[in-house]
Amino acid sequence: MDVPEPKTLYKDKINNNNSETDQAEKRLIKSYLKKIDWRILPVVGLLYIFALIDRGSISAALVSGLRADMDLSKSQEANAITTFYVFYLFCELPANIALKKIHPHVWFGLIGSLWAVSCMSLAVATTPAMFIFLRALLGAFEAGITPGIVAYLNYWYTRSEIGVRMVLFFMASPISGLIGMPLSGFLTSLEFKHFFPYQTLFFVEVDYPDKATFFTPDERNLILERLNHEKGMASQVNPTFKQTIDILLDWKIYVNALILFGLGSIGTVKGLFNPTFLKSAGYSETQAIYLASLSPLCGIAGVLALILFIDKVSYYKLIVVFGSIATINYSIAVYSHIPQVRLFFLSISGFGVSAITPLLLTWASINQGGIYKTLVSSALIISIGSIPGAFIPKFFVSYYAPNYVIGHVLAISFAGLGITLTLIMALYYNFENISRDKSQVDISYLSIDEQRLKFDNHPDFRYKL
The pTM score is 0.81
Q: Are 228 and 4 in contact (CB under 8 A)?
A: yes
Residue 144 lies in domain: 20-457
Q: Are 270 and 415 in contact (CB under 8 A)?
A: no
Report the alpha-carbon distance of residue 428 to residue 97 in Å, rounded.
29
Report the alpha-carbon distance of residue 36 to residue 133 in Å, rounded.
39
Beta carbons within 10 angstroms of residue 324's beta carbon: 15
8 part of a folded domain = no
Report the alpha-carbon distance of residue 189 to residue 348 in Å, rounded.
26
3 part of a folded domain = no
* Domains contained in the chain, number: 1
Q: What is the pLDDT of residue 16?
A: 41
CATH code of the domain in which 237 resides: 1.20.1250.20
323 part of a folded domain = yes
5 part of a folded domain = no
Q: What is the pLDDT of residue 176?
A: 66
122 part of a folded domain = yes
* Cis upstream peptide for 402 (omega within 30°): yes
449 part of a folded domain = yes
87 part of a folded domain = yes
pLDDT tens per residue across all 465 residues of the chain: 455 555 555 554 444 445 555 788 888 888 888 888 888 888 888 778 777 776 666 766 766 667 777 777 778 777 877 888 888 888 888 888 888 888 888 888 888 788 778 877 877 778 888 888 888 888 888 888 888 888 888 888 888 888 888 888 888 777 766 665 565 555 545 444 433 333 333 333 467 787 878 788 888 888 888 887 777 777 777 778 888 888 899 999 999 999 999 999 998 888 888 888 888 888 888 788 788 888 888 988 998 899 889 888 999 999 999 999 999 999 999 888 898 999 999 999 999 998 998 899 999 988 988 888 888 898 899 889 888 887 888 888 778 888 889 999 999 999 999 999 999 999 999 999 999 988 888 877 887 777 888 888 888 889 999
